[in-house]
Amino acid sequence: MAVGWLVGIDIGGTFTDVVAIRGRDMRTAKLASRPDAPAAAISDGIAAVGLALEDIANVIHGTTRVTNAIVEDKLPPVALIATQGFSDSIEIGRLRRHELYRLDVPPKRPPLVPAEHRFGVDERMSFQGEVTRPLNEHAIKQAADDVRRSGVRSVAVCLLHSYINPDHERALASALREVVPHVSLSHRVNPEAREFERASSTVLNAAAMPVAVDYIDEILSGSALEGRFQLFHSAGGYASPDVARERPLILALSGPAAGVAGTAALARARGEDTLLTFDMGGTTTDVCLVRGGQIEVSSGRSIGGRPIRQPMAAVETIGAGGGSIVRLTPGGLSVGPDSAGAVPGPACYGMGGTLPTVTDANAVLGLLDPATRLGGTITLDVEGAKRSLAPIADALGKSITETALGVHRIANAAMARALRRVTVERGVDGRRCTLLAFGGAGPMHATGLAREVGIRRIIVPVASSAFSAYGCLLSDMSYTQQRTIRLKGAAFDADALEQTRAEMQDELSRPLLDQGLARADIAMAYVGLARYDGQSEAIAVPFDLPFDHDRFAIDFNRQHHEIFGYAMDEPWVLEGLRVTASRPSGIALGSLESDLHDHAPDTVGHRDCHFDAGGPTRTPCLSRPSLAPGREVAGPAIIVDAWSTTVVPPGWMIESDSYGNLVMREVAP
């Protein structure tokens, strides 16, 4: 019996990308997203690569459904149960403003749970997990009655110090599950100190539960993929539908994390030291740092202005993509954050869009082939793109081409700021990194962005337009948890560390064992979150078993110096423990067999391209599949395949490697 196909499907705001792999065979497709019909989108994606449901061994899906629901404030109402006297902590929050110098802007977003849906329960734990006020049956019944009267479908339970002792949360959960279908417990979502962030994360998880459960159930009931369907999560792996139903917040960066995971696999295959991901799609641009073949993971961030505390790929996202709308403001040209989306899309798509976008600017500059059908369906309307930019050009007193160049540069400048946030702010010199450009628009903007940052080497990966879908397949099934432990380095309690580590390992291994995996085949990874005594933020320090106290201290000081530029001979604290259990995917970036070594790349045409204000340059368009490994091509050139366009301006060289990636380098003047 033939082995089934593995399919990665990344549903973005504009396009749905599909990659299917069986052995050395790969198929790719791109089609317009259908956000209101997820089951149909999955079925359409499978059909687009010429497969039927019976051909599929497994589907791994990256989705923006939870992210969009949070950002767009389209979450259903939720109730919160907290320790008596602490139910308002979610509104009090931290004493910091989002806009420090704008007093006309509210200092923070309003809480997701209104006061009438916040309930206190009479109980109390100490910070050491000791019961100081028992939770009695009357308090449990009162909490259940309060939630029933609120009329919500979801409830978040966040009790004081439950990350140390969750007994009271478990007791409440048993009663609440008889009242509402969705119960979110803080010791499951985020078993860490930081009461406000833990409460915010638990509430967001509760609010996302109906969204995620309905989404997953619709896909499984409409596509007959039960047992062959997984979801990509924010920490760079994929999880079962059951885990995603209970903890949907792990899907908050599902799509962007898949591209980062693919980058880590590419880095390991090519032996790359430091890669900067540059994923420019139709709606957003996502950037992240990958060092030593490992994803940079952050513990805390915010989405839509709401704090989230859980392990996530350290992705920076900005609202600047190919479909981002361009406007003339009192401060000049601005790009995004709103997008034309898939429908009506940019004006050059000819589907009714009239507002100018970054893609329209690229079409005017000749960077997109007007004869190519994007996604096999969309023929470019360059005149429509010019009409959309004309009002801005007239207002500026510039030509349409000059305006398009300005749009291109402003988009690059916005993305350069995001790159600096993931490099300079982490003690990394971005000029020494290699840029990995993917997504529908990434390879078109890569060289302009590289020049903004000072990067001189770029990789455009195989299946670049659908690389996030490919990343779904290159990743492991994995589960990650982070827990507060607080062990002082000067009087280290090795037994306490080992007990917590063993508990976390057993809990994280359970869903893998449920999938039929043998315990011996589960890979474990451990990270200590350490800080100097008195510091507020901890840094991640990987370690192996058995735990070596002295080695860990050396690694902590070295890493602290690398990030902050100094280290101290001061007492340190192991604040938390992060554990990951995974099943290796078994799929690696495969090298390509090629007989093109003596073959010149196929020229599929020539067109005028505007790389700068110096006027049009007659530029050859070369077929990407015809590029022989190791053969260099000097810019200017446009490299095209069925789904993407790579721009090689004057002053750059490009060649294909044995994996099918394109490697560009700037030629010294």
In a domain, 551, yes or no: yes
> Is residue 434 assigned to a domain?
no
Q: Is the pLDDT of residue 345 over 90?
A: no
Mean pLDDT, residues 576-596 taken together: 74
pLDDT at position 597 over 60: no
Say if residue 228 is in the same domain as residue 184.
no
Q: How far apart (Å, rounded) are the C-alpha atoms in residues 309 and 71? A: 16
| pLDDT of amino acid 1 | 36
Task: Give the model confidence (pLDDT) of 376-390 as tens digits.
Answer: 566 788 899 899 999
Do 515 and 572 lie in one domain? The reply is yes
Residue 574 sits in a domain of what CATH number? 3.30.1490
Task: Summarize the confidence of residues 131-155 as an average pLDDT.
Answer: 94
Give the position of tokens 């009242």: 179
Average pLDDT for 447-475: 90
81 and 202, same domain (yes or no): yes
Higher pLDDT, 668 or 455: 455
340 or 599, which is more confident: 340
Tokens 């693919």 appear where? 262
- Listed in sequence order, the residues at least 6 apart from 75 whose beta carbon sits closer than 8 Å to its beta carbon are 69, 112, 204, 207, 208, 211
**Are 94 and 35 found together in one domain?**
no
* pLDDT mean over 230-255: 91
Distance CA 518, CA 11 (A): 32
CB 72 within 8 A of CB 43: no
Q: Is residue 177 helix, strand or coil?
A: coil
Q: Do 57 and 104 belong together in one domain?
A: no
Does residue 579 lie within any of the structural domains?
yes
3-class state of residue 429 by DSSP: coil
Last residue of a domain, one of 583, 615, 634: 583
Determine the Cα–Cα distance for residues 583 and 573; give it in Å rounded to an integer: 31
Q: Could you tell me if residue 657 is inside a domain?
A: no
pLDDT of residue 106: 77
Question: Cα(563)–Cα(250) distance, rounded to whole angstroms?
Answer: 27
**Residues 131, 52: one domain?**
no
Q: Are residues 201 and 92 in the same domain?
A: yes
Q: What digits encode the pLDDT tens for the residues 356-378?
A: 999 899 999 998 877 766 655 66
* Residues 365 and 22 sit within 8 Å (Cβ to Cβ): no
Domain boundary among 583, 616, 640: 583
Query: What's the half-sphere exposure (Cβ side, CA atoms, 13 Å) at 31?
Result: 17
**How many other β-carbons are positioned within 10 Å of the β-carbon of residue 465?**
29
pLDDT at 596 over 60: no
Q: Which of 549, 583, 617 is where one domain is finished? A: 583
Q: What is the pLDDT of residue 533?
A: 92
Dmax over CA atoms of the chain, in Å, equals: 82
pLDDT of 113 higher than 50 = yes
Lowest mean pLDDT across 50-59, 317-326, 400-409, 486-495? 317-326
Residue 594: what pLDDT?
46
Encode pLDDT of 614-634 as tens digits. 889 999 999 888 888 888 899
On whether both 519 and 576 belong to a single domain, the answer is yes
Please report which confidence band the pLDDT of residue 599 belongs to, taking 50, 70 and 90 as the band edges: low
472: nearest Cα among 638, 255, 197, 275: 255
Q: Which helix (H) or strand (E) element contains residue 500? A: helix 494-514
- What amino acid occupies position 627? L
Q: How many CB atoms lie within 10 A of CB 258?
A: 34
For residue 38 the two structure tokens come to 């997820």
When pLDDT is cut at 50, 70 and 90, the band that residue 342 belongs to is: low
* Site of tokens 């100018």: 356
Tell me the CATH number at 17.
3.30.420.40
**For residue 547, what are its two tokens?**
């735990």
Mean pLDDT, residues 566-572: 92
Are 87 and 37 members of one domain? no
pLDDT above 50: residue 13: yes
The answer to whether residue 501 is domain-embedded is: yes
47 and 137 inside one domain: no
Identify whether the C-beta of residue 274 lies closer than 8 Å to the C-beta of residue 432. yes
Residues 54, 225 contacting (CB under 8 angstroms) = no
- Please give the structure tokens belonging to residue 299: 């513990």
Higher pLDDT, 160 or 297: 160
Q: What is the DSSP letter of 476?
A: P
Find the helix packing angle between 38-48 and 195-223, rounded to 10°.
Answer: 60
Is pLDDT of 69 > 90? no
Asked if pLDDT for residue 338 goes beyond 90, the answer is no
User: What is the rounded end-to-end Cα distance, in angstroms, of the chain?
Assistant: 58
Q: What is the enclosing helix (H) or strand (E) of 421?
A: helix 400-423
| pLDDT at residue 374, rounded to an integer | 60
- Residues 102 and 51 placed together within one structural domain of the fold: no
3-state secondary structure 384-414: HHHHHHHHHHHHHCCCHHHHHHHHHHHHHHH
Same domain as 188, residue 103: yes
**Is residue 47 a part of any domain in this protein?**
yes
For the full predicted model, state whether its pTM sits above 0.75: yes
Cα separation, 26 vs 31, in Å, equals 17
Distances from the Cα of 93 to the Cαs of 83, 96, 180, 648, in angstroms?
Answer: 16, 9, 27, 48
Nearest to 63 by CA among 226, 221, 208: 208
pLDDT of residue 591: 54
Please count the structural domains in the chain.
Answer: 3
Per-residue pLDDT band for 665 (boundaries 50, 70, 90) equals very high
Position of tokens 């100081």?
Answer: 132
Domain hosting 33: range is: 5-70+213-251
Note the pLDDT of residue 283. Answer: 74
For residue 227, being part of any structural domain is answered with yes
Confirm whether 66 is domain-assigned: yes
